[in-house]
A and B are shown apart, each in its own frame.
Chain A
Amino acid sequence: MIELKNLSCIYDEKIIFENINLKIPSHLNILGANGSGKSSLAKCISNISKYNGEIYIDSENTKNISLKNLAKIISYIPTKLEIYDEFISVQDFVLLSRYAYKQSFFDYTLQDKEIVKNSLDTLSISHLKNHTVGSLSSGEQQLTLIASALTSQSKIIIFDEPTANLDPKNSKIIALHIKELKKSHTIILITHDLQLASFMDNSVLFIKDSITTLFGKEFFEPSNLEKLYGVSFNSLSVKYD
């Protein structure tokens, strides 16, 4: 369980949130307009961005957890895979997620490499293992990032708009994988994709004007969506299941 106490997020010297208090019991979707601060919130939780206040994971304050140990607990998956080291292979890239488990100076162990192999198998991208990361399509990049998160063996995975750059086919593949991961991990999903959100069947945190509201299934009622987004929607047409 993740608990936020008096959390304030600062990004580019701008205050995104002030004094949020929130308990996240398990899986959660985060929705909200562009620029509402969804990603900022996720980056604070995964300790990438600076924040004030406290974050507790399973009642332990994350400020008291070392970077390496935090990496074993929580994974953040960005929308796009950005990398300068463009010649790194997919399996070497995924192997980087074992850094937190590795003894400093020494190489990754055979066991680490076995875990990478399993992650790639789980996502059916073993055939890509020797490809360079720079040569991947957006869909393959997203799968590679998910493989990284699996390899880090963290129990919480935060997805930041995983389907934003994907065609419908790849979106569905990713959606099915994320749903499957719900069985073994705590999933926090940031998205604009209402289909994806309703498919996940999670409770929804809606962010608007720095105010966060928690919803259950009633979030997807057309009348509710119209109230929150300010425009009306017909019923959701594409279904992943």
Chain B
Amino acid sequence: MIKLFIWIFLIIIFISSPFFGAVSLDFNEVFITSTLASNIFYELRLPRVLFAFFAGLILALSGLLFQSIFRNSLMTPYTLGISSGAVLGAGIAIKLEIITLFFGLSAISIFGFAGAIFTVFLLLYLAQFLKNSHHASLLLLGIALSLFYTSALMIIFYLGSTIQNDMLLRFTMGSLSIIGWSQPLTISIIGIMLFLSVYFYRFELQLLSTSDEGAKQRGVDAKRVTFILLLISSFAIGTLVSISGPIGFIGLVVPHIIAKLYPSSVKERIGKTAIFGGLFLVMCDTLTRIIQTQSELPIGIVTALIGGPFFIYLIISKSSK
């Protein structure tokens, strides 16, 4: 009953989301072509909802993937420092004032993507020196990397001009403000690709979340499957973060909500986690547009405000078992 209510609530928000914002849109006006309302609706609001949905899908699915592969509830691209890597990359691009466009992508995006991918490979490289069973150490590595990146970013802030710092600050807060359809389409293709890959490997994922030994013993090439899945998800996260900036805690919160609502094997939770993640971020995004401030509230702040307390609850409830 509660489950049904939650889903209906999220879907209603999802459908009505495009009508909320700095300018409230009249339902009838939207369908008359070439009015201001229909322009806002088709060129700003609809692409934004689509973008938010697939961004949430990518974040939640990557969270579930990282948690299952590393068998640790606190593993997400965000807690492992991959998002911070992307921010630092973007920061470098802003500081160096590289504004060239490559294939329609800004230098900020490309540097952000490079930062994320670099971090993944650094983590995979460093993980070789950890003992197999010590995935908790990997989490510490991620935290150490995050701190390092944050300090490096502080140096860029310190050296930067006011305009640069303002750009950088907005990027670090995460934003879903986009214009037009090209970015939402890119992210939705990547999101669908990620979903299909995870679905393709659903049985392997189920085996990997027993133990490395257990998976290998039952015939799974654990190393290969892990590498493929991490690579695909890092590619998705890297691309996303390079456009939206870091949006934390979705990857942490959503898989846990789904596990609480549907206590079943990881295989059964892939689809639900993906769709719930999408709807959840659309809800957070709608919140940012309803709460009126000077300009709209950055999405990263909203998700962190929800996710932070949840993170603490999670740590306490895990350790009190």
Binding site for B on A (CB under 8 A): 12, 43, 46-48, 66-72, 75-76, 78, 82-85, 87-89, 92-93, 96-97, 99-100, 102, 104-105, 132, 152
Contacts and interface: CB of A to CB of B under 8 A. Distances in A.
13 contacts: A48-B216, A75-B217, A76-B213, A82-B214, A83-B210, A84-B68, A85-B68, A85-B265, A89-B265, A92-B265, A96-B218, A132-B263, A152-B218
Interface in B245-268: 259, 263-266
Interface string B194-221: 0000001001001101110110111111
A88 B264 CA distance: 6
A99 B264 contact: no
Interface residues of B, number: 25
B315 to A, nearest CB: 17
A106 to B, nearest CB: 9
Nearest to B72: A84
Contacts of A84: 67-68, 71-72, 209-211
B222 to A, nearest CB: 9
Contacts of A48: 213, 216-217
A89 B266 CA distance: 11
B3 interface: no
Contact of A87 (B220, B221, B264): B264
Contact of A67 (B71, B220, B266): B220
Interface centre among B131, B217, B221 (most CB of A within 10 A): B217
B71 to A, nearest CB: 3
A213 to B, nearest CB: 28
- Of B67, B72, B220, B265, most A-chain CB atoms within 10 Å: B265
A87 B207 CA distance: 13
Given A83-B209, A97-B218, 9 more contacts: A70-B219, A71-B218, A75-B217, A78-B214, A83-B211, A84-B68, A88-B264, A93-B210, A100-B218
Contacts of B211: 82-84
Interface in B214-241: 214, 216-221
Given A85-B266, A87-B264, A105 B200 contact: yes
Contact of B220 (A85, A92, A93, A99): A99
